[in-house]
Structure formats: C-alpha cells, structure tokens
Amino acid sequence: MEQRAARGKAARASVPREVHGEWSPDQRRTSPLELLEEQATTRVPELVPIRYGRMAASPFAFYRGAALPMAADLATGPHTSLTVQLCGDAHLSNFGGFASPEREMLFDVNDFDETLPGPFEWDLKRLVASMELAGRSRGFDSNVIRTIVLAAARSYQDTIRDFATQPNLEVWYSRMGQAEIVQRWGGAVDKKIMSDVRANVSKATSKDHIKARAKLTRVVDGQLRFISDPPLLVPIDEVLGASEAPIFRDHVHELLISYRRTLPGNYRRLLECYQFVDLARKVVGVGSVGTRSWVALFVGRDDQDTLILQVKEAEASVLERFLAKSTFKNHGERVVDGQRLMQAASDIFLGWQRVAIGIDGRSHDYYIRQLWDWKLSPNVEGMDPLRLRIYAQVCGWTLARTHARSGDAVAIASYLGGSKAMSEALSKFARLYADQSEVDHQALVDAIAAGAVNAQTGV
C-alpha cells in the first residue's frame, strides 16, 4: 500500500496537478475538421452528412461527436502514467440507466466504442468539459456552472479516495442503482426531484424488447419485419436491393451464429431458442453516425416473443494513435472486454464477431448487444442547476468506480490528494476547452454554410 501511494505522489513531480488546468489551441497539430473528415473516409458515405448535421446543432452536440479531436488535443499535453481502462468518450450523455441481468435499474457508463487503457485524467477531462458545455447550453450563470463542474470533479476525487481504502471485492461489487442514488443524494433535494427520478426510472423500464417490437416492426404477409423509416431505419432489402440482400443477410446470419461462441454457455442456449428473421440498418448516436450499425430481429415461440439485437461496427479506438495499440485482434472484442471490465453488470447478449465480407467488400468488426433493455438517458435540456449538479456528482462517482475496477485506486487517490488542487485545475480546463469547442463548432457551421462540408439537418 505504501509503495502504491508513493507512486501516486511521485507522479505529481512529473505532472503537477495544476497543469491539468492548461489548454491552448497553439498545442494543436491537426484541425478538428480535418480529423472528422478523416473519420468520414471509413464510414457509410450517405450517412456522414447526418453526422455533420447533428454536430452542427450546438457546441454541446459538436463536442459529443468530437472524441477524436479531443483525444488529439489531450495527447499534446502532459499526462500521468496512472493507467486505467478508459471509456475514451466519457461525456455526460454516455452515462445512463439500463437493466442488470437481475432486472434492477443500474446507472453506469454505457458507451465503450473508444475504450482503451490510458491515463485516468483523460476520461475525467472529457467529463468535466461536457458539464461546462451542458451548463452553457442551458444558459446557466458562469458561477453556477463552476459549481456543477467542481461537483463532478470533487465527486470523482472523494469516491476514488474512498475506494482506495476498500478491499478489491468491495470495489468490484459496488454499483449505483435507484436506491443508492436516493440514499446518497436524496437528502440534498426536495421530494419533487426524487419523485421525478422515480418516474423517469419507471418510464425507462418500459423501453424494452416489447416497445422495440411495437415501434420498429410490423407484420408483412404474415411475417414480422422491420418497418422502413429512411434514413434512420432501412430494411436490408432497401439498402441492397432484392437480389443482393439475401447474400448479405446470410453473411450476417453466419456472424450471429458464430458470435454465440463469445457468450457464456447459459446465454448461448437462450439465444439458440430464437430464430433470426430480419435485418435493417439503423442510424445511432452522434459520434457513431456513419459507422455500420444493424438491428437483427429474432422470433422465439411466436411473434410476441421477440429479441432485437444491435450489431454495431467497432473501429479502432480514437485513442490508439496516441496511446498503445489495442492488444485485441478484433475491435468488437476490445469493446466487449472494456465494457465488462468497467460496468457493474453488462447485457447478457454482449458479444463480438467479424463479418468477413461486408457490403463494401471489406471485413468489419462488430459487437452485439440487445437494442433496448430498459434505457434511461439524461435529459440535459430539462435539468435545472440543482438537477445537473446532482447528475454531475453521480457521473463523477460512476467514473471513479469504473477506474477503481481497472486501475490502481490507491495511486490515483494519492495523486489527487485531499486538497482542491485537482478540482480547481479541472474547472479551469473545462472553461478553456468549452471555449475551444464553441470555436470549433462555429468552424463547422461556417464550413457547412460555405459548402465545404455537406450536412443534413433535422434527422
């Protein structure tokens, strides 16, 4: 323990906590728009304008899609050697609620496309800057926003220090559910807010395979099929045409059969009770728009017994060019391994596989999970300062828990210490980087106006 604590304190000598508050655009080597254009070259061409249109909506929306530009920026500054399994895209919208296998609503990180081992503060910086931008998007006073950002930073700091004193099993078993949120933060708010929390949880539990079937499918000639809602949801026959669709559907079917081997035996047996019946392309998220994402429809004993899996492309993490390359040969496995390591509980159908021949004639890595298994997403637009501050604290606690599972909590806690040095530095960084994101967002808006970037809005 003493050696681990000494390692954390020694890290302050090479990377003082105060330097985490620094940011200057002079550090940049490549412009964000160049990096986004580079990403676009590997994505589905007709979907890329949707991504730009969504990112152009606001500085906060731009930030959500700019994981690569921020990784490039973070790589230009000093960073510690205190390594954890990074989320890689830990902005506030990538936290949320979902169902555990035991059918309990859990709050956790829920996006791992960019996960990779790296310095713990990269996730923390992405989180606090997103809080700053969220506060600005709501029109909050700068002092109010500072309080929110500090709440996230301090929650992370206090939590990691707490986990540093706990046995490994206690850290591993820790989780954040509705009861824990009420217990930890319920005393700081009025009954109306706690009532809203319970109502949102109740609403989220209805977003499951039943609602997915009702919203995304219909019966055609006696068979359950995906609806057509282009460009957001397009059945495979419309994507490829009636002659080529069966060939690709067979490729995906083979993927789904072989993917079963990545599941534990009990869940593999459960999946074998379902029959694959249809496939559609589905647009997702902001940063992921343009990657190859499919939904696969399965039917069990009858049309009321359905399962919809999301088959989502996993490209190389945006962190890999700045940190070490992934040790996994399949990026789908990289995502799944990171998710299982960081989350308190994961989807029972979480697995991975590779399609040897895609529509474009190239192979692509995928990870697979249920499309909806309860889903509680943050409604930033509806948060007042108190709600956003509590949400910031919950996210800070959650991020610290994920890092404590994969990294050296004792060393990180020793590095952070008990003073305000790190939280103050992170607050400064959040302001500076939010300013930068507003500039970058305007550059995208100007490029769209000038016709240099093709964007499709309102989708």
For 92-119, how does the pLDDT look when each residue is reduced to its tens digit (9 = 90+)? Answer: 999 999 888 998 889 999 999 999 999 9
Q: Domain limits at 278?
A: 209-370
More confident residue, 181 or 33: 33
Q: Are 222 and 287 part of one and the same domain?
A: yes
Q: Among 328, 347, 370, where does a domain finish?
A: 370
Tell me the two tokens of residue 338.
């990171």
Is residue 249, in this structure, part of any structural domain at all? yes
Does the structure show a pLDDT above 80 at 358?
Answer: no
> Which of the four pLDDT bands, split at 50, 70 and 90, describes residue 346?
very high
Q: Among 319, 340, 370, where does a domain finish?
A: 370
Q: Among 370, 400, 417, where does a domain finish?
A: 370
Does the structure show a pLDDT above 80 at 357?
Answer: no
Q: Are 403 and 431 part of one and the same domain?
A: yes
Mean pLDDT of the residues in the chain? 93
pLDDT, tens digit, 9 for 90 and up, residues 367-418 = 999 998 788 888 888 899 999 999 999 999 999 999 999 999 999 999 999 9
Q: Are 169 and 214 part of one and the same domain?
A: no
Is residue 323, in this structure, part of any structural domain at all? yes
Q: Are 190 and 77 part of one and the same domain?
A: yes
CB 394 within 8 A of CB 376: no
**Average pLDDT value for residue range 450-457:** 96
* pLDDT score at 210: 78
Tell me the two tokens of residue 238.
């419309």
> Which of the four pLDDT bands, split at 50, 70 and 90, describes residue 179?
confident
Is residue 8, in this structure, part of any structural domain at all? yes
Is residue 457, in this structure, part of any structural domain at all? no
Predicted model pTM? 0.95
Does the structure show a pLDDT above 90 at 150?
Answer: yes
Q: What percent of the chain has pLDDT over 90?
A: 78
Does the structure show a pLDDT above 70 at 190?
Answer: no
Does the structure show a pLDDT above 80 at 196?
Answer: no
Closest CA to 125 of 102, 147, 149: 149
Q: Are 426 and 326 part of one and the same domain?
A: no
The amino acid sitting at 55 is M
More confident residue, 243 or 265: 265
Q: Are 51 and 126 part of one and the same domain?
A: yes
SS3 labels along the chain: CHHHHHHHHHHHHHCCHHHHHCCCHHHCCCCHHHHHHHHHCCCCHHHHHHHHHHHCCCHHHHHHHCHHHHHHHHHCCCCCCCEEEECCCCCHHHEEEEECCCCCEEEEECCCCCCEEEEHHHHHHHHHHHHHHHHHHCCCCHHHHHHHHHHHHHHHHHHHHHHCCCCHHHHHHCCEEHHHHHHHHHHHCCHHHHHHHHHHHHHHCCCCHHHHHHHHEEEECCEEEECCECCCEEEHHHHHCCCCHHHHHHHHHHHHHHHHHHCCHHHHHHHCCCEEEEEEEECCCCCCECECEEEEEEECCCCCCEEEEEEEECCCCCCCCCCCCCCCCCHHHHHHHHHHHHCCCCCCCCEEEEECCCCCCCCEEEEEEECCCCCECCCHHHCCHHHHHHHHHHHHHHHHHHHHHHCCHHHHHHHHCCCCHHHHHHHHHHHHHHHHHHHHHHHHHHHHHCCCCCCCCCC
Is residue 295, in this structure, part of any structural domain at all? yes
> Which of the four pLDDT bands, split at 50, 70 and 90, describes residue 189?
low
Q: Are 300 and 357 part of one and the same domain?
A: yes
Q: Are 57 and 160 part of one and the same domain?
A: yes
**Average pLDDT value for residue range 165-180:** 92
Counting the structural domains of the chain, the total is 2
More confident residue, 365 or 186: 365
**Average pLDDT value for residue range 337-355:** 95
Is residue 376, in this structure, part of any structural domain at all? no
More confident residue, 146 or 241: 146
* pLDDT score at 201: 73
Q: Are 189 and 317 part of one and the same domain?
A: no
Is residue 442, in this structure, part of any structural domain at all? yes
Does the structure show a pLDDT above 80 at 54?
Answer: yes
Q: What percent of the chain has pLDDT over 70?
A: 97
Is residue 266, in this structure, part of any structural domain at all? yes
Q: Are 180 and 77 part of one and the same domain?
A: yes
* pLDDT score at 187: 63
**Average pLDDT value for residue range 169-174:** 96
Q: Are 257 and 334 part of one and the same domain?
A: yes
Q: Quick one: CA torsion of 240, 279, 356, 268, rounded to 10 degrees?
A: -170
* pLDDT score at 245: 85
Task: Tell me how far apart the 2 most distant CA atoms of the chain are, in Å.
Answer: 70
* pLDDT score at 241: 87
* pLDDT score at 458: 85
Q: Are 224 and 190 part of one and the same domain?
A: no
